[in-house]
Amino acid sequence: MTRTSSLFAALCLLAACAGSDASYTRWRGRTARGEVARAEEIRASELIGYHADEDAPRPSEPQPAGSGGLYVAAELGEPRLPAGSATHPLLQVSVRGARGAARHAASLVLVLDTSGSMGEATSAEGTKLTDVKHAVTRLLEQLSDEDHVALVAFDSSARVLLPPTRLGDVRSRATALVGALESGGSTNLHEALARGVELARSRPLSRGVDRVVLLTDGMPTAGEQSPEAFDSLLRCAVAGGVHVTTIGVGRAIDDAILSRIARESGGAYHYVDRADEVERVFSQELRSLAELAARDVVLRIELPAGWSLVQAYDEQTSADGQSIVSRLGDLGGDEAAVRLYELSAPSAALAGAEDLHVRVTLRAPEALTTASEQTLTAAQRIVVTRDGALPYAPARGGAVLRNLVLGRIAGALRDAELRRRGGDVGGALVALDAALADAREARALLVAQADAHRAETLDEPLALLTGTRALVARGAQSGRAGAD
């Protein structure tokens, strides 16, 4: 893929995917089909993000003064895996948009794939398209009369079914248009996205959310397909302040392009592998649409002297001297993001209680400028110690331990797949076995800590890891049989 301009690259650094969780469901879907997950499709932040909604606490106290519409919690711990081994301290920071944030009208452009493959069955009850139509209909039911909605359908070409219109004036018509969609044709992804971005830019930025939601089950098979064409289109979206959320359904999606569209435009990327996931994802998007708590959220962790970042389980994090910077993008009311960092500390610090500082910067929802130097309009500082976090202390240990395991699983999956491709099947199995040992041990520790729910959340990853290992081993045996 060609390199974009330095200006575009700089703008892209401002765009994170706070709510992205596609890697987890993509891995689950591939394993169910007897396929090994591709290394490029595994992102640690998305495995951890799958559980962000339950990991980020919902404080019962009133929103603190100066919080800028966000709740922030942090936890510093040392989950030892294997048990008793030396380890680095881990810092987990969660951010949640406050409930009750000012509700402004949203502008939503729904770009819906109706290509022939959307007619494939997902269950005895329906097809991919009927699942999508049901979820979109529920979304339309829950949006406000003052929200503006546009509808674009695409297969071999894109067509505007409904230009941006106040939903209260066309709710029944919009629902009927969605209900009448039928599948057929190929997938002109570029033209569809171009029409969506064009519609989103055709009206002034609102004080609420301006977003394109692209839902597709395939990769481009018609129209413009070059990286350069998508580069130009994404530059247009970024320049116009348009965020694009991408939702992939089915097995033939282009993970690279869908994740890139979301990341570089500041949206989220989801992959749905079963019918109930479609509605879950739309519900998650609805929260951020209904109440925009903060724009351009940035975490900055200021480390004491002698401390350093070993690893960030997040692809949108950078280290700057004694500071760690993670960009989360926009957060809606009750929307959550969790970030996990592995740190190195002097031995004296681990014996005492040295403070870390976590600072959150953001723009108020009403601030529409995209200039980075104008984003720091509100900030909150909290102090993290070995005894927990102020002002909110989540349940100790469980989420950090589980998320450390998920981060290690992501690394093991990538390592194993790259080794397998290079012919080192033995090395691949060693990497997967280490991750399996970590996950089993963590589950036992959580059970011992009476954290049964989080222990159960490791059951599915354990099953998926076991399945991945079996697939790799089976492939090795097939290769040996072929050689014989």
Q: Residue 94: name the closest of 60, 61, 45 by CA.
A: 45
**Domain locations along the chain:** 6-35+103-290, 57-101+293-389, 398-483
pTM: 0.70
pLDDT at position 364: 52
Just give the CATH number of 398-483. Answer: 1.20.58
Helices (H) and strands (E) in the chain, counts: 15, 16
pLDDT at position 430: 94
Digit-coded pLDDT (tens) for 307-360: 889 999 987 788 887 889 888 877 777 788 899 999 887 765 555 556 677 777
Helix (H), strand (E) at residue 269: strand 269-272
Return the structure tokens found at 259.
Answer: 């994740």
C-alpha span between 382 and 190 (Å, rounded): 44
Q: What order do you get walking across the sheet with 388-389 strand by strand?
A: 317-320, 323-332, 292-302, 356-363, 378-385, 388-389
In contact, 441 and 82? CB cutoff 8 Å: yes
Architecture of domain 6-35+103-290: 3-Layer(aba) Sandwich (3.40)
- Amino acid of residue 462: L
| Class at the top of the CATH hierarchy for domain 57-101+293-389 | mainly beta
C-alpha span between 405 and 442 (Å, rounded): 7
Mean predicted lDDT score pLDDT of the chain: 76
Helix residue ranges per DSSP H, 74-208: 128-142, 167-179, 189-201
Contacts (Cβ under 8 Å, ≥6 apart) of 395: 451
For the chain, list residues with pLDDT below 70. Answer: 1-21, 59-69, 84, 86, 100-104, 123-125, 203-209, 252, 273-280, 282-292, 295, 347-355, 362-397, 476-484
Digit-coded pLDDT (tens) for 107-124: 889 999 898 888 887 765
Distance of CA 466 to the CA centre of its chain: 24
pLDDT at position 312: 92
Burial 67-103 (b: 16+ CB within 10 A, else e): bbbbbbbbbbbebebeeeeeebbbbbbbbbbbeebeb
In contact, 255 and 40? CB cutoff 8 Å: yes
pLDDT at position 329: 73
